[in-house]
Structure 1
């Protein structure tokens, strides 16, 4: 217990440090995000990028098995020696606290403090402010024109749905081009990082409603490759934004839009434009349903087919598992001061409006 108490004390110290950093965003931006953390993220990502599979996914499975073994050992010891069960429980709780303390510290050091950095909108000189419904209407209208135009330039399968003929491997291979172009305008997104990784249990992952996960302990952008082809490029670029220190979900979505539309491939452009359109039209539907219905009539037949397929795809995975993971994800986002929780995914619209004004 002697040495373990020092490990446990790292936890409250980490919480305190996180609290202090959250009040000093410019310091975090300069000395952490663009200072010590950027080369750390790149090195970690490049080293783990040597492997074709996701080390992060393997570590998650290993950790789950380890916890189950610890619980099993506690249960077995309690049955074998009831008098010693209190001591076993004490050891179990101490070990768990040590594990949590180490994991939380590593999370903050390797990536977590990026939640405390200056917002991407500020670094990109975008003036985010409340916008009128008419401004939102105009944004949606322009996105519909762009998305309809791009939809005409992409391949569709026999069912009339957009398809990436090279599969997810082709998307992974071409994805870095998006950041090569975008980083010229936004240097904070520059750097060399490891390639995206496919999740081995992607099909099962669909039941959680999760399309991708950035694993900060390995610097890997993990992607659920069982989802729709037309949304996959935007998902890959979104997770790669996390690799580049963009922690907030709404900002990662916005960066995904910028990067995809900067890509030379029209399929990436379409995916990013469709992501922005979905988010913006959802916001308009909540603000003015009549205007939403009016603009919806402007969708091309190809876009409508893709959106219908997207809806049908996710309907088959709806259930209790998705609800549980949504609540867990919501709690995670709120714990990192994204107060809107899962709803923060819609906040990219404010950035899109600011970009349109600029």
Structure 2
């Protein structure tokens, strides 16, 4: 090996070793510069990356993510089996075999991590949506929460009368699940008239072939930053699907925080001309708000809970029955992993960050009252 090739190899190793530190520096270093991230990444570079990626993968009728996951599992199994085989044959070279294996793992993880950071994760450091929407973010109180819950109950009861139900009295998507995937963008087109951050063309959301795998993990959907795809669990009760589609599309549009994706998903659902979307968004928001009220004031919760229509109660029961049927070890492990992921990405409350959607509902209610 000549000197030039040797130096090239050294530089390649240095670059690989530095990928994770560079990623960490980028992520945590920009945590205190949201204005730069908002202007130059979330609304410029990062947005272009996601749009290009999702446009390419959007040409496929199925989720590329599913096949990448299958390929990744096979790749991992192959490398582990190869490592074990070489280890048994190595005899006096076992240290070199072990070192070579972990070097390969490190290189793989480093490359994946830097792609994740540069391609999407910096969106965690953008302005909060409450600032983008110019909401009054003063302290919330129990009376405001009760008011929001009461309004959502009335809204949800009314919308429920406009949707179809099956022979068991459970809401179903009259136009079908595929139609929901293909028309979800309409809510974002309307939302973009108020918030230009949502302007842009993206690949359509994908229904997952292995949806029940997500159910085992307790997940309604998942956004894949490596393919730009908003993936949805199509096995859930129909009342959940339109809202979850809009939630994952919020991630696709650069809003990484879970509480914000929930709230934006609600707004996009309510802006969609299809009543199925409106109802799905409304009942989902109601569920979050009432859960928050249950924790804060049990008496007021019980008082409002009696206002739910029988039809809404049937839909909520169908949701609970469905998810309870998937409770188990896999669900708990997935929940713990998701909690850790959220905390690593600076959502300090972990899974509790989902509850902060209720604050956004209250801020939105404040603004609506001012505008009216």
Deviations 1:157-178 (A, max 9, x none): 0000000023210111111111
Residue pair 1:4, 1:98 contacting (<8 A) in 2 also: no
- The answer for the alignment partner of 1:249 in structure 2 is 258
1:112 and 1:278 mapped to 2: Cα distance?
28
1:61 and 1:7 mapped to 2: Cα distance?
26
- The answer for the alignment partner of 1:334 in structure 2 is 343
Q: CA deviation at 1:190?
A: 1.2
Unaligned runs of 5+ in 2: 1-8, 368-372
Q: Does the alignment pair 1:30 with 2:39?
A: yes
Deviations 1:50-94 (A, max 9, x none): 001111121111112111211111111111123222111101111
1:105 and 1:129 mapped to 2: Cα distance?
37
1:163 and 1:217 mapped to 2: Cα distance?
32
Residue pair 2:181, 2:207 contacting (<8 A) in 1 also: no
Q: CA deviation at 1:193?
A: 0.4
Residue pair 1:248, 1:338 contacting (<8 A) in 2 also: yes
Q: CA deviation at 1:230?
A: 0.6
- The partner residue of 2:109 within 100, 109, 117 is 100
Aligned residue runs from structure 1 range 34-49, under 5 A: 34-49=43-58
- The partner residue of 2:90 within 81, 85, 88 is 81
**TM-score, L = length of structure 1:** 0.98
Deviations 1:180-238 (A, max 9, x none): 11111011011100011111111222111011110001100011110010110000000
Residue pair 1:208, 1:322 contacting (<8 A) in 2 also: yes
- The answer for the alignment partner of 2:3 in structure 1 is none
Residue pair 1:212, 1:239 contacting (<8 A) in 2 also: yes
- The partner residue of 2:194 within 179, 185, 189 is 185
2:360 and 2:287 mapped to 1: Cα distance?
14
2:77 and 2:133 mapped to 1: Cα distance?
46
2:38 and 2:345 mapped to 1: Cα distance?
16
Residue pair 1:143, 1:276 contacting (<8 A) in 2 also: yes
Q: CA deviation at 1:118?
A: 0.6
1:115 and 1:68 mapped to 2: Cα distance?
32
- The partner residue of 1:159 within 144, 164, 168 is 168
How many residue pairs get aligned? The number is: 358
1:35 and 1:50 mapped to 2: Cα distance?
23
Equivalent position SS for 2:336? helix
- The answer for the alignment partner of 1:6 in structure 2 is 15
- The answer for the alignment partner of 2:333 in structure 1 is 324
Q: Does the alignment pair 1:220 with 2:229?
A: yes
1:103 and 1:22 mapped to 2: Cα distance?
21
The structure with more radius of gyration: 2
Deviations 1:217-276 (A, max 9, x none): 110001111001011000000001111001000000000110101111111000001111
1:19 and 1:138 mapped to 2: Cα distance?
38
- The partner residue of 1:55 within 64, 70, 77 is 64
- The answer for the alignment partner of 2:184 in structure 1 is 175
- The answer for the alignment partner of 2:134 in structure 1 is 125
Residue pair 1:207, 1:322 contacting (<8 A) in 2 also: yes
Aligned residue runs from structure 1 range 231-310, under 5 A: 231-310=240-319
Residue pair 2:90, 2:97 contacting (<8 A) in 1 also: no
2:118 and 2:22 mapped to 1: Cα distance?
13
Equivalent position SS for 1:101? helix
Q: CA deviation at 1:134?
A: 1.1
- The answer for the alignment partner of 2:6 in structure 1 is none
1:56 and 1:4 mapped to 2: Cα distance?
29
Residue pair 1:129, 1:350 contacting (<8 A) in 2 also: no
Q: CA deviation at 1:125?
A: 0.4
RMSD, aligned CA? 1.0
Residue pair 1:29, 1:118 contacting (<8 A) in 2 also: yes
Q: CA deviation at 1:129?
A: 3.0
Q: Does the alignment pair 1:112 with 2:98?
A: no
1:331 and 1:157 mapped to 2: Cα distance?
39
